[in-house]
Amino acid sequence: MTTNRGRILVIEDDVSIAKVLEAALTHEGYAVTVAHEHAQGLVHLQHEPFDIVIIDTDSSVWDPALAFLDELRPHAGAARIVLNTAHAEAGQIDLDYHGLAAVWLKPYDDLHLLLSDLHTLLA
């Protein structure tokens, strides 16, 4: 697909998950940039505008993950932030309080539902 639906930054340390997301999002017409470390993602945010930032957090405790969100937010501009995690507790996070557009739980049951969620976020 050649349509540019928007720019997405994927911050994901698991290379296989990053590749799946990149392939699916690119196929849907999004321009995708992948960073495998939080610091690398921040560098991209400081130099490029994005519509969506998908952030992986597989930290064993929530405090560092939420602290990273606080560090990232000033650089994200108008980008919508999606938390991508395997932590079941993520469903209890107050999206508005943490400035999140959505929380995606891994493993994904249906990648098409996530893509539909993205289309809605950018509508």
Confidence class for position 1, pLDDT limits 50, 70, 90: very low
Q: Which residues of 51-66 are buried (b: 16+ CB within 10 A; e: fewer)?
A: bbbbbbbeeeeeeebb
Q: Does 77 have pLDDT greater than 60?
A: yes
Cα 9 to Cα 31: distance, rounded to the nearest angstrom: 9
Indicate the domain borders of the chain: 38-99+106-111
Q: In terms of C-beta density within 10 A (0-12 exposed, 13-18 middle, 19 or more buried), how is residue 38 classed? A: middle
Q: What is the pTM of this model?
A: 0.87
Looking at residue 67, its pLDDT comes to 77
